[in-house]
Structure 1
């Protein structure tokens, strides 16, 4: 039997008597992935800007140094919101230059005139325009986001600094990733404890690190995903070490030169079948950290 078709009703939230901009903002904050920009996490909401009002949402890609300064607008786009979006983006990038920044404007109606204007910025600043549709299906409301203008130059991959890391707990990561891949972090902890017996996992919003006597001690960090885990090893890049890692058969991501990180994408089979070369890499990172 084919599925039953239901025609949705388009809602215009600008004039809706019950649904407000705050309601839409809350839905995005609950699940930023609905924007279609990737698996983003909420960094801040209604963020105060010096002498410039409040930024609606600050989002971040947990696997990179890219932050998204998002302004939300019900109804059609206008010049004031575009200026505000660019202004907030500029403030944030100057305050936090260690991150890559992208301006995002979300509106119900992005006009052709507006697209012509923002196309002038292409190549000058990273700007994304997303058109939002609210659809009523029976007694429920859905939000659909469509990127109509995109400039996504990716930033450098890195962990968030310990000073800015937001503490979470194991339950957060079980929901965000899976118990299976979280178990890989447990196995890696056992290897790390061979170097330093008193280490524990330290759960943060963007990664899982290590702690010693309650303080961060990150010579390796972990980022569990649904089907794999990313292992970050703080080691200086060398041809010999790169060949050693490649020779062990690991799937590697691009080396982060700014933060001196080797990044490996690990599966359960990697951790069990390649335990010895992993143990050696963890030991090297520990020795680098303590030397």
Structure 2
């Protein structure tokens, strides 16, 4: 029978052998350890035009996003945050075709740091990860915890003034597809109780008491529909959906999965998986099941 044991936590900053370069090398070789989805390492110690070196540059597997990563042993400090934002801004201006996100990795994310970040996290896409180190025999294990997640700025698709009506969507797609949307929405009543469909210009979302809450949404087409749910990217979940034979895309910029469904029958065929996706989205939004 397995025994429960306590791990010995250690300080990386005060460790006589562990240096920042070693942590940097580990992250570069094991990007999955960050818990930010499937990333592709691009470059370490990337020289910046105005001086300095970006610790790590990584990209998304679909090559539409990039992460500018800075590492700090010990607690965060003002120079660390300024350096991270400067490097993010430089890369963003040099390569505007990508969706860029700054990432700070530190042993301690201080309260003061979190207060400062919260002031502009809506304008600057930034993720803060706290790294903890534990001694395991002669080795050291690293654990990364997301303390601050990226806040995605609002889009035209989310603006209230883009509200339309059902007739708009019946003309843009078809009455049959809209009936499939109705049927799926009703069948998910366990999760959508108290919500109503809200017809926007670019998608059909959800609203409760007149307030939009799009943990799931629909994008009806002429001969099929996209079922959309918001959450962080998960390689395991992506693979599970693909293994079910469904066409799926993760849109990192909007933090959402887009799953193609042919009709209501297609939904029923994969009902258990779709319900799992809905529950994942509700957990992401911290919504209790109705």
Aligned to 1:216: none
SS in 2 for 1:114: helix
Aligned to 2:246: 251
Q: Distance in 2 between matches of 1:136 and 1:150?
A: 28
Deviations 1:137-194 (A, max 9, x none): 222210000010011549xxxxxxxxxxxxxxxxxxxxxxxxxxxxxxxxxxxxxxxx
Aligned to 1:35: 34
Aligned to 1:44: 43
Aligned to 1:101: 100
Displacement, 1:135? 0.5
TM-score by length of 1: 0.54
Aligned to 1:58: 57
SS in 1 for 2:13: helix
Instruction: Please give the residue correspondences for 1:171-190 in structure 2 after superposition, counting only pairs within 5 Å.
Output: none
Q: Distance in 1 between matches of 2:135 and 2:39?
A: 26
Runs of at least 4 residues of structure 1 off by over 4 A?
none
Gaps of 5+ in 1: 155-238, 257-262, 266-291
Aligned to 1:128: 127
Displacement, 1:61? 1.2
Q: CA RMSD in A?
A: 3.1
On the 8 A contact 2:122/2:152 being kept in 1, the answer is: no
Q: Distance in 2 between matches of 1:5 and 1:60?
A: 38
Q: Distance in 2 between matches of 1:135 and 1:56?
A: 23
On the 8 A contact 2:121/2:151 being kept in 1, the answer is: no
TM-score by length of 2: 0.54
Displacement, 1:9? 1.2
Report the number of matched residues: 174
Displacement, 1:243? 2.8
Aligned to 2:276: none
On the 8 A contact 1:130/1:148 being kept in 2, the answer is: yes
On the 8 A contact 1:6/1:137 being kept in 2, the answer is: no
SS in 2 for 1:97: coil
SS in 2 for 1:13: coil
Displacement, 1:251? 2.9
